[in-house]
Amino acid sequence: MVKYYYDKYNSTPIIRYNDDSTFAGTGLKNMYFTDMAKTYLFNPILNSYSIGSDLWQRNESIAKGAFGYSVDQHGQLSRGDAEKSGTVSITVSAYSSYKTPVSNTSFINGYNQGTLVQSNISAENGTYPTDGRHTDDYWYVRGALTNVAPTISLSTSDNRTLYENDSFGISGSATDSDSGNVVSVKYQLNGGTERAIVSGISTGASIPFNRALTFKGGMLFDGSNAVTPALVEGTTHSLRVWAEDDKGGKSAAQTRLFTVVANRPAALTIEPFVTAGNLIDSDTMTIKGSVADPEGNAVIVRYKIGSGSYIEILNGVGGPFSIPIKLSALKAGANAVTIQATDSYGAVSSKTLNVVKSGNVLPLKTSVTRYKINPPNGSAKGVLLWIEREVGDLIVDVEISATMAGEAESFVPMTKTSTAFVIDGIEEDEFTHDAVTPKENIVIKLTMTRASTATNNGIKLISGVLS
């Protein structure tokens, strides 16, 4: 049923008067007819008398019983009744009588709207008159259609703690029983800017709404737009949500409280390492450490030496890591080794270690080198190797590992079958090896030994044949 607002007023009666009082006679006397009219008028609204415009004139013929009327200053109507026919002189002998308005009776001739008693009474159409007096003796005036404020139901949970990249959903439904109203659902964070979530035309059914905000970088975002400044940790923040319609109706606001924990960089821990000696450039030093992200985010750990490029060593949820660094990658003197941890939201932590490479370069009496042989046919059974070396105190021993793909290396000595003269100062050693079956992975290991560090004899040529 359609409802309207009504204003209630007192009813003011419309009073009217009857010209029903009687003339009271005062006897025969000379009356000044030239000041009297032949007729009189009665005003029922004011309950007053006045005389007509047709006055008696001097020397005018007058019949017996003719009336003359006058009204005095108190509103009393006087009447003269001519005693006999004749001619009007200044006065006429007449029977005098009068009557006063106060003796007239009154009656109620309807009602008018009076003073306001009450405004905005909501009632179904037809309960009261559109503009008139009701049976309760009050006057009613119908106004605009009534507007019932919308209501809202908010599903967002209370007292949440938001972490980096958490979604903060504002969801629920609004209802407006007045069909045709434009309903808007709005929200406000920490008393800041009012922002719209959804608008719709009411049909009386619920209007669902949902807006997903994202917490990142210490702020809440609606898509790519920040809807808050940086939010302080350890402080309770507030969300207010309400619905309002285009007729001025507004629901009670619902409030949700929340706190935030801004994204924190991963914690890097580097284990202490001690000075190591008796190393050569082919040796490896290892830096060990661990990484842990406070929010449990994925972390990438990388390192670089000096101004070089970063090398990734860990990609996961954290844990221990190790960084193997060959001494050949370090320059003599101080080397900056930077270790950096970056979580999945871009927070970075880093540590820089100062690694000093120093010491005396000492000649070696023994050294080892390896060669990987790729058989052209994919595998080989026999190996024939020739090594040309300078004549002196240099001794070359050869080992071979011949295995199948996926097998571990297993070195055995190759057989030295001969030593031959090549040219002055150069000799050639011949080594052989025959496997039981053809092998795919063939590695040659040469061990070179000299009796004195003062000599510098070396290998001049290595050649061979596979079978």
Domain 151-260, CATH among 2.40.110.10, 3.40.50.720, 2.30.30.230, 2.60.40.10: 2.60.40.10
Q: What is the pTM of this model?
A: 0.48
Domain ranges of the chain: 3-13+107-145, 19-104, 151-260, 267-357, 366-466
What is the model's pLDDT at position 282?
81
In angstroms, the Cα distances linking 283 to 177, 272, 300, 349, 366 are 82, 19, 27, 29, 15
What is the model's pLDDT at position 361?
66
Query: Is residue 5's pLDDT more than 70?
Result: yes
CATH class of 267-357: mainly beta
What is the model's pLDDT at position 110?
94
**Chain centroid offset of residue 71 CA:** 85
C-alpha 86/C-alpha 56 separation (Å) is: 13
What is the model's pLDDT at position 459?
93
What is the model's pLDDT at position 295?
82
What is the overall mean pLDDT for the chain?
93
The bridge status of strand 395-403 relative to strand 441-449 is: antiparallel
Q: What percent of the chain has pLDDT over 70?
A: 99
Residue pLDDT, tens place only, 289-348: 999 998 888 999 999 999 999 999 999 989 999 999 999 899 999 999 999 999 988 889
In angstroms, the Cα distances linking 308 to 15, 120, 289 are 108, 80, 21
Q: Which CATH number is associated with domain 366-466?
A: 2.60.120
Query: Is residue 21's pLDDT more than 80?
Result: yes
What is the model's pLDDT at position 262?
86
Residue pLDDT, tens place only, 370-409: 999 999 999 999 999 999 999 999 999 999 999 999 899 9
Across-strand partners of 197?
Answer: none
The bridge status of strand 138-145 relative to strand 3-17 is: antiparallel
Residue 1: pLDDT band (50, 70, 90) is low
| Domain 151-260 and domain 267-357 have a common topology | yes
What is the model's pLDDT at position 11?
96
What is the rounded average pLDDT of the residues 24-50? Answer: 94
What is the model's pLDDT at position 116?
96
Which position has the higher pLDDT, 277 or 412? Answer: 412
